Chain A
Amino acid sequence: MAEEVAVMLKGEIDHHRTEEIKRQLDEIIENTRPLRMILDFKNVTMMDSSGVGLILGRYKRLSERGGALYVKRLSKQVDLVFQVSGLYQVIKKI
């Protein structure tokens, strides 16, 4: 079990890519069982509502295993998607 795991996401997060990213994140969650998972959006150039479903699903999976999810370095565009979709009500920006 790990204290903290940080993941750098990359590129455009859309419906076409959600399955692949979901698989990778779930693998990391299962292999490391982190107390805190930090998603770094520095290199994410776009995210739409498919990303909202993806992030919410990972949040739930982590919570069920006693972990928490954090996000950081979001672009203005990604930040607005987080805001309007209410993601910040459950996921903290650091």
Chain B
Amino acid sequence: MENEMELRFINASENESFARMCAAAFAARLDPTLEQIADIKTAVSEAVTNAVVHAYGGGRGPVILRCKAENGMFFVDIEDQGIGIENIELARTPFYTSGGSGRSGMGFTVMEAFMDSVDVVSEKGRGTKIAMTKKIR
């Protein structure tokens, strides 16, 4: 069975919890364990927070969350139309942050630890898309 959803919201920090709740509620149909739900919430939180903090240089802009469930697999995309990432490999390196003090540079590392795959597509000046998958059963 296949199911899909798409959600568009502005990158306000209040929407971090909203987004991960929506993704978790959608994934619940796949009958995940509580642990798998926590994993999904964590990864979605990371990607959405990056869209809040980094994508629009501190300003406001849209974020799109897409979820898909198919054959026991959960797919989630988080997309923004912000400044983009110039060097994706560098951005994914543990401890790398452009955010200064208070940020640890661990967001991508956490996404990788909690999901089966994390794909980053980004173009300078056009935006960033994080595509993640997780096998639920």
> Footprint of B on A, CB under 8 Å?
12, 14-16, 18, 45-46, 48-50, 52-54, 56-57, 75-77, 80-81, 84-86
Contacts and interface: CB of A to CB of B under 8 A. Distances in A.
A46 B38 CA distance: 7
22 contacts: A12-B17, A14-B17, A14-B45, A14-B49, A16-B13, A16-B14, A16-B17, A46-B38, A48-B45, A49-B104, A49-B109, A52-B104, A53-B102, A56-B104, A77-B35, A77-B114, A80-B113, A81-B106, A84-B110, A85-B104, A85-B109, A86-B94
Contact of B107 (A12, A49, A75, A86): A49
Nearest to A47: B42
B101 interface: yes
Contact of A84 (B20, B35, B103, B106): B106
B110 A49 contact: yes
A81 B13 CA distance: 20
Contact of B42 (A16, A18, A48, A56): A48
In the complex, the 8 A-B pairs of residues with the closest C-beta atoms, listed nearest first: A16-B13, A77-B38, A49-B106, A52-B104, A85-B106, A48-B45, A53-B104, A84-B113
Contacts of A85: 104, 106, 109-110
B53 interface: yes
A80 B114 contact: yes
A28 to B, nearest CB: 18
Given A49-B110, A57-B101, A85-B106, A14 B16 contact: yes
A45 B17 CA distance: 12
Interface of B: 13-14, 16-17, 20, 35, 38-39, 41-42, 45-46, 49, 52-53, 94, 101-104, 106-107, 109-110, 113-114
Contact of B103 (A16, A53, A76, A77): A53
Nearest to B41: A46
Contacts of A16: 13-14, 16-17
* Central interface residue in A18, A45, A49, A54, by most chain B CB within 10 Å: A49
Given A53-B104, A77-B39, A15 B49 contact: yes
Contacts of B35: 76-77
